[in-house]
Chains A and B, each alone.
Chain A
Amino acid sequence: MLEISGLKKLFGGLVVTDNVDLSVTAGELHALIGPNGAGKTTLIAQISGSLAPDDGRIVFAGHDITRWPAYRRAQIGLSRSFQITSIFPAFTVLDNVAMAIQARSGSSFRFWHPVKAESSLYASALEILARTGLDAHGESPAATLGHGEHRQLELALALATQPKLLLLDEPMAGLGAEDSQRMVELIESIKAQYAILLVEHDMDAVFRLADRISVLMSGRIIASGSVDSIRNNAEVKLAYLGEEEIA
């Protein structure tokens, strides 16, 4: 589904993405871990299209999308959730999701018929809200939600566009134990339907959800493989997980 080869990015003299190879297949959840400053968000930005790489190739669903603008990648099924919540605070929760659904259901160059009258749009939106546990908040202004619900909405928006690939950038950022648990269960429930590239710090979540793990350090992939192989990889443990024993 997603095939990244030789990706390179420099900021001035600093190499932030150093010859990265990465792939995600359909139905697989590939987790990307690494310490702060490793370049995870920069990598996500290059995959989603908000940042242009200096070298390398990104192939998605059979297309070479390396130079494609972000919106075009989204149109062929590449969806992203943001580490720092990026929703539409001026709209209600329902309208937020409806916006995402609108993006993939036909042209929005329509000037006459009210959007609210499009019942199928809103039915789909309600269904997404139910799936992500937000059905109670449909009519609330998105700005008034708590952080946990914001993260749920963040995921809802990414799901609503019926993607083929989900780029999840730290979906559990800032969540407490209970909300994190809920998010993990949510992602688990949708896992098999999409190709997912998950960036996360929460190791419990990563080990529970991932089919494959890659470790990014200083812009380079230093290890990549099954959950067990990474868990037992001495180099990774030393460099990143520290001396702490992971059960």
Chain B
Amino acid sequence: MTMPAQYSRWFAYWPLALLAAALLLPQLLGWFGFDFYVSFATRIMIMALLASSLNLLVGTGGMVSLGHAAFFGAGAYTVAILAREWGGTPAESALLSWPLAMLVGALLAAFIGAICLRTKGVYFIMSTLAFAQMLFYVFLSLKSYGGDDGMSLTKRSTLPGIDLGADVVFYYVVLALFAVALLLLGRLDRARFGKVLRGIKDNELRMESLGFAVFRFKLVAFILAGAMAGLAGALMGNLNNFVSPNMMHWEQSGVVLVMVILGGLGRLWGGLAGAAALLLLEEILPNFLPHWQILLGVILLAVVFFAPRGLAGIFRA
């Protein structure tokens, strides 16, 4: 669908409108007495961050990973373990534990990517899945860190002068981080690196014969995505005050992949669209139907057949 010309000029400013709405959201929800939905909105943004990081790999670079949840879980556990082992010290500070979560995600991605990126197609999908599952089972067996019961955090990470324990405050911090991430992803997509990734997705062989060291570009993308997913994990662990091995399970990877496909592969807003759509549907539908998952399935099928470019691809201004 393309937008009629007279609207498309105004339509170009919609991200600003969305930002304004996001800034006002906690106030609006408070007026209507829906304060508890602030955390829900935060959850959407965190999942959107995770989905956007996967979109960089899958949508832009054509690397379908079914093990992305590994970095998500690793980031979450980094924060939780730091708080457990070194509670009451600067290790609880978001300024330390969150970047560390990103670093853990990046290092894990460097290791897993270095091995898996040597394969292609289904073999790549399965090897990423294998590594994520292995990590899942490792954490499942770590009884000292909760095992399959998971581990709770006594409180959220600390920031100087800001109380992340307040849901509204935490919302704005996540909003800021997500907005910055989206901005960076947008720049990256239009920069040389983004073009190379898209070129690799389009015709990897030709990129090699033009002189691009394809493996290195893929690995760097993998590492960047892993770092972003690690941050998302740290944020989710904070939101729930809880981490569990399920955060690394392949079903979690599957849900994120579904969000990306639903939202729109390779589209900047695909991660947000997919995460928001799926989470909102899962929140709203149960109020209308007892067997709402059937309707959810039908909606997803409809998107596959009638909106093949995903939700974010419906309008092309």
Which residues does A use to contact B, with CB under 8 Å? 48-50, 69-72, 74-75, 79-80, 82, 86-91, 95, 99-100, 102-104, 107-116, 157, 161
- Which of chain B's residues have a CB closer than 8 A to the CB of A89? 202-203
Near A by CB (< 8 A), chain B positions 185-226 give 187-188, 190-196, 198-199, 201-203, 205-214, 217, 220
Q: Which residue of A108, A111, A114, A115 is within 8 Å of B212 (Cβ)? A: A108
Name the A residues within 8 Å of B184 (CB-CB): 111
Asked if A87 and B211 sit within 8 Å, CB to CB, the answer is no
In whole angstroms, what is the CA distance A107 to B190 when docked? 15
Q: Which residues from B are CB-within-8-Å of A90?
A: 198, 201-202
Q: Give A105's nearest chain B residue, CB to CB.
A: B192
Report which of B192, B198, B211 forms a contact with A74, defined as CB distance below 8 A: B211
Residue picked from B187, B194, B202, B205, most chain A C-beta under 10 Å: B202
B193 — which chain A residues lie within 8 A by C-beta? 108-111
Q: Given the known inter-chain contacts A86-B203, A88-B199, A88-B206, please indicate yes or no for A114 contacting B190, CB distance below 8 A.
A: yes
Chain A: minimal CB distance from B118 (Å): 13
| Cα separation A218 to B239 with both chains bound (whole Å) | 68
Q: Please determine whether A157 and B196 come into contact, CB atoms closer than 8 angstroms.
A: no
Most buried by A among B190, B191, B196, B202: B191
B217 — which chain A residues lie within 8 A by C-beta? 108-109
Q: How far is the CB of A55 from chain B (nearest CB, A)?
A: 23
Chain A residues positioned under 8 Å from B206 (CB to CB): 82, 86-88, 157
Measured as residues with beta carbon below 8 angstroms from the partner, the interface class of chain B is 20 to 34
A157 touches B210 (CB 8 A): yes
Are B202 and A70 closer than 8 Å at their CB atoms?
no
Of all A-B residue pairs in the complex, the 4 with the closest CB atoms, nearest first, are A74-B211, A114-B190, A108-B192, A103-B210
B212 proximity list for chain A (CB < 8 A): 71, 103, 108
A86 touches B205 (CB 8 A): yes
The answer to whether B192 touches A115 (Cβ under 8 A) is yes
Kindly list chain A residues whose C-beta atoms are within 8 Å of the C-beta of B198: 90-91
**What is the CA–CA distance of A221 and B199 in the complex, to the nearest angstrom?**
37
Q: Are A115 and B191 in touch, CB under 8 angstroms?
A: yes
CA A193 to CA B195, docked complex, whole Å: 30
Q: Which residues from chain B contact A80 at a C-beta distance below 8 Å?
A: 209
Given contacts A88-B199, A157-B206, contact A71 B211 (CB under 8 A): yes
Among A82, A99, A114, which residue has its beta carbon within 8 angstroms of that of B199?
A: A99
Among residues of B, the one whose C-beta sits closest to the C-beta of A154 is B206
Cβ–Cβ < 8 Å partners of B191 in chain A? 110-115
| Inter-subunit contact B209/A48 (CB<8 Å) | yes
> Which chain B residues (5-26) contact chain A, with CB distance < 8 Å?
none
Q: Which residues of B have CB within 8 Å of A102?
A: 192, 195-196
The chain A residue with its CB closest to the CB of B266 is A90
B185: nearest chain-A partner, CB-CB: A111
Q: What is the bound-complex CA distance between A50 and B210, given in angstroms? A: 12
CB-CB under 8 A for A50 and B209, given A109-B220, A112-B187: yes
Residues of A within 8 Å of B203, CB to CB, are: 86-89
Closest to B210 in A: A103
